[in-house]
């Protein structure tokens, strides 16, 4: 069984993952409202991925006979400025989530909770990928700069990627 400290920390991370999903969904809505549906689609996928992260932690807690206690989720912003500003926020948010996962991992190690440590290793690896993807997006948008044609091409490329099922 999980310690109370681990349960509290995992419950907090479930909330954080749901907030991340909510934040990315708000960003997707913003992108689509300014006619960047490709960027919006990319953010929708990110939102869905964050939900799967929350549910993975949820299921892990249940598997370990932990007690799920869901807390309210804060309201994300609805205005984000330019695309580069928004995707810089995505990158910073992913770095923040990495820090949260690392603290949770350190707690599991300090309690000699090896099962939780192993479960969290998946999240640590996932965060490396999340940060790289966000960083790549920031760099691509910076390369496009104020060139609306380049931004539209990038948006269309993302729109094409978001319509393909995984593995296609």
Domain of residue 22, CATH code: 1.20.1260.10
Based on the structure, what is the number of domains in the chain? 1
CA 61 to chain CA centroid, nearest Å = 20
- Position 165 confidence tier, pLDDT thresholds 50, 70, 90: very low
The length of the chain, given as a count of residues: 168
Q: Can you list the pairs that 123-128 forms with residues at least 24 positions away whose Cβ atoms lie under 8 Å?
A: 123/53, 124/98, 126/53, 127/94, 127/97, 127/98, 127/101
Domain membership flag for residue 168: no
pLDDT value at 166 more than 70: no
Domain membership flag for residue 80: yes
Q: DSSP label at 28?
A: H
Contact 42, 154 (CB under 8 A): no
Q: Which domain holds residue 70?
A: 4-163
Maximum C-alpha span of the chain: 56
- Position 162 confidence tier, pLDDT thresholds 50, 70, 90: low
Percent of the chain with pLDDT over 90: 92
Q: What is the pLDDT of residues 33-87, one digit of tens each?
A: 999 999 999 999 999 999 999 999 999 999 999 999 999 999 999 999 999 999 9
């Amino acid at each position: 069984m999980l310690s109370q400290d681990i349960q509290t920390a995992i419950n907090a991370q479930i909330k954080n993952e749901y907030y991340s999903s909510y934040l990315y969904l708000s960003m997707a809505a913003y992108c689509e409202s300014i006619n960047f549906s490709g960027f919006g689609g990319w953010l929708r996928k990110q939102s869905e991925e964050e939900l799967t992260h929350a549910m993975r932690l949820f299921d892990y807690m249940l598997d370990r006979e932990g007690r799920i206690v869901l807390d309210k989720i804060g309201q994300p912003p609805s205005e984000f400025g330019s695309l580069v500003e928004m995707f810089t926020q995505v990158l910073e948010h992913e770095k923040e989530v990495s820090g949260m996962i690392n603290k949770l991992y350190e707690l599991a190690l300090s309690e000699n909770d090896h099962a939780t440590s192993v479960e969290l290793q998946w999240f640590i690896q996932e965060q490396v990928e999340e940060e790289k993807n966000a960083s790549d997006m920031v760099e691509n948008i910076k390369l496009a700069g104020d060139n609306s044609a380049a931004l539209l091409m990038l948006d269309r490329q993302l729109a094409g990627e978001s319509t393909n099922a995984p593995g296609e």
